[in-house]
Amino acid sequence: MQRRHFLMGAAALSVLGASNVKSLAQTDGALEKTSLTLGVGGKPLLYYLPLTIAERRGFFKEEGLDVAVNDFGGGSKSLQALIGGSVDAVTGAYEHTIRMQVKGQDIRALCELGRFPAIVIAVRKELADKIKSPADFAGYKIGVTAPGSSTALTAQYAMVKAGLKASDAPLIGVGGGASAVAAVKQGQVDIISHLDPVIAKLEADGDIEVVIDTRTEEGTKALFGGSNPAAVLYVKKEFADENPNTSRALVRAFTKSLKWIHAASPDEIADTVPAEYLLGDRPLYLQAVKNSMPTYSLDGVLTMEGMQSVLNTLKTLDPQFANADVDLAATFDGRFVQG
């Protein structure tokens, strides 16, 4: 009899335990998907520092996520990977969410990583007397991370704003890191639209003259007329809807990364990233980090003013956006960063 009572009690405890486990999982938000593939276009660039920090400081693992990063030649290529289904999420330029909406693809930004574009447009030193502003860009080769990426968009916008056509200068994909530096040094391109630490390296070596600098609020406003959000974490809407707890965990990892970056010293950041990201020059990288610090998002939240600024840029550049009915509220899903 005692054995029977014990077994009944044990069974009851087992059921209660299972119920409690289920309850706790629901409360804590059990992850629907723990292994993810994330695409990026030019991971060594400081534009994507929040991704590298989240990976290297273990913030993804703290959230129960196993994140494999695929580094593509540029942001447009990582977008293609998301549309094609080979990655679950992307860290890339916010403007891709607007472009895809117009094309009938529902892509949502979940977290802002960069509040200024941090893109610098510069000319090779020996051409500085001929190319003084974007009005002089016609016919010259412009190096960008990849055609269709934010570096390309910024260069084209600068040309259109100066009275040229976006097609007046050829865009040459030079990738990120050392390949971009080599493209300038070897004269493969005449102008470069790129990011730190590539720009910092070329500046330090005396290879370029800066024409436009959106690493600062002043430079961003000078070109775009206001704030202009840059890198974001974005996914397909169906992914966010089907994996809300995973999406929230992913966003938490990135907001931890942003918080860490704003509290860290340039030396701590340099000690955290892979050694090859320093391009063989630690002091230079430290300066590049200092240059880029103002660009990182403070809270991960996109503002309507910033989103409108990006849409205005696209309307200026691309005829298909001139009369497009874009719902900006549908390009940012703020429930994860605010929840």
Q: Which CATH number fits domain 120-224: 3.40.50.1110, 3.60.15.10, 3.40.190.10, 3.30.428.10?
A: 3.40.190.10
Q: Which whole number is the average pLDDT over 13-20?
A: 36
pLDDT of 248 above 70:
yes
All residues at 6 or more sequence positions from 40 whose CB lies less than 8 Å from its CB, including other chains:
48, 51, 69, 70, 71, 72, 78, 90, 91, 92
Instruction: Tell me the torsion sign for CA atoms 52, 261, 208, 280.
Output: negative
Do residues 170 and 141 touch, judged by C-beta distance below 8 A?
yes
* Residue 339 confidence (pLDDT): 57
For residue 12, how far is the Cα from the chain centroid? Answer: 51
35-41 and 89-93 strand pairing:
parallel
Q: Is the pLDDT of residue 20 over 60?
A: no
pLDDT of residue 21 exceeding 80, the answer is no
Mean pLDDT rounded to a whole number for the chain = 89
Q: Identify the three-state secondary structure at position 236.
A: strand
Mean pLDDT for 68-74 is: 91
Q: What SS3 state is found at 204?
A: helix
Residues 6+ apart with CB under 8 A from 316: 157, 160, 161
| Phi and psi torsions of 107, nearest 5° | -110, 130
> Given this chain, do its domains 35-117+228-338 and 120-224 carry the same CATH topology?
yes
Domain edges within the chain: 35-117+228-338, 120-224
pLDDT tens, residue by residue, 124-176: 999 999 999 999 999 999 999 988 888 998 999 999 999 999 999 999 999 88
Domain 35-117+228-338 has CATH 3.40.640.10: no
Tokens 């865009």 correspond to 171
Higher-confidence residue of 269 and 323: namely 269
Q: What is the pLDDT of residue 335?
A: 93
Interatomic CA distance for residues 252 and 262, integer angstroms: 16
Residue 90 reports pLDDT greater than 70: yes
Residues 6 or more apart whose CB falls under 8 angstroms from that of 101 comprise 107, 326, 327, 330, 331
Taken in order 260, 40, 69, 291, is the CA torsion positive or negative?
negative
From CA 207, how far away is CA 257, in angstroms rounded? Answer: 33
92 within 8 A of 74, measured Cβ to Cβ: no
Are 43 and 52 spatial neighbours (Cβ–Cβ below 8 Å)? yes
Res. 13: pLDDT tops 60: no
**274-315 tens-digit pLDDT:** 999 998 899 999 999 999 999 999 999 999 999 999 999 898
Structure tokens given for 334: 């703020």
Segment (H or E) for 159: helix 150-161
Q: What is the pLDDT of residue 148?
A: 82
Residue 208 is inside which H or E element, if any?
strand 208-213
